[in-house]
Structure 1
């Protein structure tokens, strides 16, 4: 498994998300400037709704920027135990501990990207190959760690 390739895929996805949110925020701000009308309260309500949308997009952008910051610190060296940057194979799946971006495909294998803050990672954190952990009443065995 090439962890550097996985990390590059994740970096690309996060950069795309950041560009997407920045574009949406800019477009929403531009439409906010175009909604001027003489309708009084109706205008204020519309502006408030647009501001709430901008705030929501800004929050999502900040989350993506935080993910990008976490990713910059990921080490691609082989791991002996479950930690940030580890690629972990259990009897239930393959997990890359970096940022929570969902499923990615690399070398024809489906890999679930998960944050170190996720309950799954917290349950397996610090364990080594051959050890078990339980989450949601499901026991998993760690088969390999890269």
Structure 2
């Protein structure tokens, strides 16, 4: 399994997400400006709702930018234990420890991208191959780490 390909896929998805948020923010700002110029104070509530949407999109953009910064620090070097950048196979699935991006498919393999802050990764953090861990009273074994 090529960890660099997994990392590249996640970086591309993150960059796409950032671009989408930037575009949505620009479009929402433009519609907010249209509202200001074409309507009077009577529509202050509408402008406030647009501003809240801009604030929400900005928060999501900042989160995506933080994810992108974290991804820049991750290498595709082999891992001997569960840590950031590790590809971990358990008896329940394949997990890539990086940012929470959900499921991706690389080389026809389903891989769950999971943040180091997630309960699952916290339960297996620092463990090595053949070690077990438990989450939600379910025992799992680490079958491989790359």
State the partner residue of 2:112.
Answer: 112
- Alignment partner of 1:34: what SS? helix
Please name the residue that 1:46 is paired with: 46
- Pair 1:25-2:25 in alignment: yes
Aligned match of 2:34: 34
Instruction: Output the aligned Cα RMSD.
Output: 0.9
Give me the TM-score of the superposition, normalised by structure 2.
0.97
5+ residue gaps, structure 2, are none
Q: Is it true that 1:13 corresponds to 2:13 in the alignment?
A: yes
> How far apart, CA to CA, are the structure 1 residues paired with 2:39 and 2:100?
45
- Aligned residue-pair number: 145
Shift of 1:80: 0.6
DSSP-derived class of the 1:35 partner: helix
Residue 39 of structure 1 and its aligned partner are, at CA, apart by: 4.5
SS in structure 2 opposite 1:46? Answer: helix
| Runs of 4+ off more than 6 Å | none
Distance in 2, matches of 1:38 and 1:66, equals 37
Quote the residue 1:55 is aligned against: 55
1:84 is paired with a residue whose SS is coil
Superposed displacement of residue 138, structure 1: 1.1
Cα distance per residue 1:48-69 (max 9 Å; x no partner): 0000000000000000000000
1:97 equivalent in alignment to 2:74: no
Deviation at 1:75, TM superposition (A): 1.7
Q: Whole-Å Cα distance in 2 between the matches of residues 68 and 102 of structure 1?
A: 15
1:12-64: CA deviations, max 9, x gaps?
Answer: 000000000000000000000111345433x1101100000000000000000
Structure 1, unmatched stretches of 5+, are: none
